[in-house]
């Protein structure tokens, strides 16, 4: 498969480049041979050769006839003073995090809810009540698995509002879904393992798997869901360790996988012994009808790990997520959680328990859904008179917008940032970082007035660039 080979080739190139830039591979000393690197990384020699050739084209290495490749001096990190330790880092860059750090006024890149729409005052008014009930709260570590009261409350919540029976022993509390994905990856994925991942996808998950050295196999998701024949073909051919999916109001597309496919995905997971990591971060943000039950609800073989995060729409600052799995997997996940932080902060768990079990939570969700639908419609109204294309989502926080294929994407992004506007380029949401003609616009963070102002500026920039293209 061409796209998979490209991903592997890029991973090998990055592995080699990191060692050059940190000085681990010294100047003018013969670099590891094609054969030795192929054996070390478990890949074909041609893959190593292609990576070396690219490094040569980029000016990082040079070749000597019959002796091999050597590093050029210019790539060594030279700005480290003698007083500083020459520390080497092997962590991959987080492109989404880089975008979020941009200091802009119109943050269409932020797939989070406007803080003014969250129950801040309610929680602050009842903070003393929480401390009165748990006077030793700040002096107590939480259980690694999670606070027992919160786990009981979550189990009851799932059964009451989702008609989903989840036994308490199947729940671990994590510090957000991101930590859950990271724990699962560290527990079950090693370098060169295959991982199926929907395309486009949540880039934070792709970054985690890339850091594990996984070989990513993109699985296309559309408004109709997945092509299950393709999913089964990949599972049979690659024997992946897991399949990462966000099937309900998917980030970035807003698509929802239909119920029939959810049942079949659970069957495929059991048939091919492939863990499905179901990231369910937007379940309660629906605008018309409630979404279908999670894939987890159809699991009979214990191959589905379910992440139910409440960060996006209840209390982002508390970072509470339920990681749900069969007991056969749970024993390993608890060990992974212990290594991560030895337990989510107890204060966060007790504060969230207070809110989750209150009558206020349902009122909040009803009002929040109305507010977000209004903001979505305001953004769609701003897009309509321009050459954009998108499928209007039934929930979630984002619009996945197709732009003109002739558009200079780098120039569009640069001009947007110059005008204090940020969005997520489609390339970041592609597991293989292909240059696709899409952008993700989030309507959840800004109020209606700021959406109107920011979108007016963005569409004006877009139209002017299109006009320039026509005149070339």
What is the distance between the alpha carbons of residues 142 and 330, in angstroms, rounded to a whole number? 18
Q: Which long-range contacts (CB under 8 A, 24 or more apart) does 324-330 make?
A: 324/166, 324/170, 324/171, 324/172, 324/296, 325/170, 325/172, 326/170, 326/299, 326/302, 327/169, 327/170, 327/302, 328/302, 329/275, 329/302, 329/305, 330/169, 330/170, 330/172
Q: Which residue has the higher pLDDT, 128 or 373?
A: 373
Q: What is the pLDDT of residues 345-365, one digit of tens each?
A: 999 999 999 999 988 888 999
Question: Into which CATH architecture does domain 95-116+361-471 fall?
Answer: Alpha-Beta Complex (3.90)
Task: Locate 211 and state its tokens.
Answer: 């850091």
Q: What is the pLDDT of residues 415-446, one digit of tens each?
A: 999 999 999 999 999 999 999 999 999 999 99
* pLDDT above 60 for 76: no
What is the distance between the alpha carbons of residues 48 and 36, in angstroms, rounded to a whole number? 10
The confidence band for 101, taking pLDDT boundaries of 50, 70 and 90, is confident
DSSP-based helix, strand, coil % in the chain, nearest 5? 45, 15, 40
pLDDT of residue 82: 45
What is the distance between the alpha carbons of residues 329 and 275, in angstroms, rounded to a whole number? 10
Average pLDDT of span 47-61 = 87
Q: Confirm if 182 and 208 have CB atoms less than 8 A apart.
A: yes
The confidence band for 337, taking pLDDT boundaries of 50, 70 and 90, is very high
Helix (H, G, I), strand (E, B) or coil at 291: coil
Measured at the CA of 153, the angle between CA 152 and CA 158, to 5 degrees, comes to 100
Q: Which long-range contacts (CB under 8 A, 24 or more apart) does 123-126 make?
A: 123/315, 123/351, 123/354, 123/355, 126/354
This prediction's pTM? 0.82
Cα Rg of the chain, angstroms:
24
Burial class (CB in 10 A: 0-12, 13-18, 19+), 471: exposed
The domain segmentation of the chain, as residue ranges, is 2-75, 95-116+361-471, 135-359
What is the distance between the alpha carbons of residues 338 and 335, in angstroms, rounded to a whole number? 5
Place of tokens 């880089």: 98
What strands, in cross-sheet order, belong to the sheet with 438-442? 398-402, 438-442, 424-425
Helix (H, G, I), strand (E, B) or coil at 305: strand
* pLDDT above 90 for 392: yes
Q: What is the pLDDT of residues 282-336, one digit of tens each?
A: 999 999 999 999 999 999 999 999 999 998 888 888 999 999 999 999 999 999 9
What is the distance between the alpha carbons of residues 220 and 458, in angstroms, rounded to a whole number? 28
Q: Which long-range contacts (CB under 8 A, 24 or more apart) does 259-265 make?
A: 259/292, 259/293, 261/225, 261/226, 261/228, 262/292, 262/293, 262/294, 262/295, 262/297, 262/298, 263/298, 264/228, 265/226, 265/228, 265/231, 265/295, 265/298
Q: What is the dihedral of CA 97, 101, 102, 103, to 10 degrees?
A: 160
* pLDDT above 60 for 227: yes
Q: What is the pLDDT of residues 105-114, one digit of tens each?
A: 999 999 999 9
Q: Which of 275, 200, 199, 202 is nearest to 235 (CA)?
A: 275
What is the distance between the alpha carbons of residues 6 and 13, in angstroms, rounded to a whole number? 11
Q: Confirm if 11 and 210 have CB atoms less than 8 A apart.
A: yes
Q: What is the pLDDT of residues 286-301, one digit of tens each?
A: 999 999 999 999 999 9
Q: What are phi and psi of 20, to 5 degrees?
A: -70, -50
Low-confidence winner among 14-23, 145-154, 254-263, 396-405 (lowest mean pLDDT): 14-23
* pLDDT above 60 for 74: no
* Mean pLDDT across the chain: 90
What is the distance between the alpha carbons of residues 309 and 314, in angstroms, rounded to a whole number? 9
Rounded alpha-carbon distances, angstroms, from residue 329 to 309, 323, 452: 19, 11, 47
> Domain 135-359 belongs to what topology?
3.40.640
Q: Which residue has the higher pLDDT, 92 or 77?
A: 92
What is the distance between the alpha carbons of residues 399 and 389, in angstroms, rounded to a whole number? 10
Burial class (CB in 10 A: 0-12, 13-18, 19+), 136: exposed
Q: Confirm if 443 and 375 have CB atoms less than 8 A apart.
A: yes
pLDDT of residue 314: 87
Helix (H, G, I), strand (E, B) or coil at 321: strand
- Give one DSSP letter per residue of 130-168, joined into a string: HHHHSTTGGG-PPPTT--HHHHHHHHHHHHHHS-----G
Average pLDDT of span 197-226 = 95
Place of tokens 């119109």: 106
Rounded alpha-carbon distances, angstroms, from residue 173 to 145, 316, 320, 369: 6, 15, 7, 25
Q: What is the pLDDT of residues 102-151, one digit of tens each?
A: 889 999 999 999 999 998 888 888 888 999 999 998 898 999 999 999 99
Percentage, residues of the chain above pLDDT 90:
69
**What CATH number does the domain located at 2-75 have?**
1.10.10.10
Q: How would you write 76-112 as a 3-class SS string?
A: CCCCCCCCCCCCCCCCCCCHHHHHHCCCCCEECCCCC
């Amino acid at each position: 498969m061409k796209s998979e080979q490209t991903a592997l080739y890029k991973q090998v190139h990055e592995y080699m480049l990191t060692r050059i830039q940190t000085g681990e591979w010294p100047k003018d000393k013969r670099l590891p041979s094609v054969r030795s690197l192929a054996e070390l990384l478990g890949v074909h020699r041609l893959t190593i050769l292609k990576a070396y050739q690219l490094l040569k084209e980029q000016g990082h290495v040079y070749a000597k006839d019959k002796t091999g490749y050597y590093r050029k001096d210019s790539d060594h990190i030279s700005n480290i003073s003698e007083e500083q330790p020459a520390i080497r880092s092997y962590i991959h860059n987080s492109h989404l995090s880089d975008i979020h750090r941009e200091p802009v006024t119109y943050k269409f890149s932020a797939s989070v809810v406007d803080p003014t729409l969250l129950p801040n005052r309610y929680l602050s008014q009842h903070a003393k009540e929480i401390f009165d009930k748990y006077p030793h709260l700040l002096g107590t570590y939480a259980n690694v698995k999670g606070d027992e009261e919160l786990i009981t409350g979550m189990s009851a919540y799932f059964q009451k509002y989702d008609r989903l029976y989840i036994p308490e022993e199947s729940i671990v509390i994590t510090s957000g879904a991101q930590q859950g994905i990271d724990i699962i990856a560290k527990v079950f994925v090693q370098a060169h393992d295959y991982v199926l991942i929907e395309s486009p996808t949540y880039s934070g998950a792709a970054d985690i798997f890339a850091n594990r050295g996984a070989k990513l196999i993109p699985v296309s998701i559309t408004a109709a869901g997945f092509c299950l024949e393709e999913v089964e073909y990949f599972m049979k051919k690659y024997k992946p360790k897991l399949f990462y999916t966000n099937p309900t109001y998917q980030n970035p597309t807003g698509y929802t996988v239909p119920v029939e496919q959810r049942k079949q995905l659970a069957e495929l997971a059991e048939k091919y012994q492939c863990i499905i990591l179901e990231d369910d971060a937007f379940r309660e943000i629906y605008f018309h009808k409630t979404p279908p039950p999670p894939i987890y609800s159809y699991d009979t073989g214990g191959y589905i790990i379910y992440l139910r995060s409440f960060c996006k729409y209840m209390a982002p600052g508390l970072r509470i997520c339920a990681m749900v799995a069969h007991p056969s997997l749970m024993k390993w996940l608890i060990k992974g959680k212990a290594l991560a932080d030895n337990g989510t902060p107890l204060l966060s768990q007790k504060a969230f328990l207070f809110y989750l079990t209150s009558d206020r939570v349902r009122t909040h969700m009803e009002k929040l859904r109305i507010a977000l639908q209004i903001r979505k419609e305001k953004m769609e109204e701003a897009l309509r008179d321009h050459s954009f294309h998108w499928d209007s989502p039934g929930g979630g926080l984002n619009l996945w917008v197709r732009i003109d294929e002739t558009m200079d994407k780098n120039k569009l992004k640069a001009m947007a940032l110059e005008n204090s506007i940020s969005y997520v380029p489609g390339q970041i949401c592609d597991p293989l970082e292909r240059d696709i003609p899409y952008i993700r616009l989030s309507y959840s963070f800004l109020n209606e007035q700021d959406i109107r102002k920011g979108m007016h500026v963005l569409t004006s920039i877009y139209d002017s660039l299109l006009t320039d293209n026509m005149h070339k």
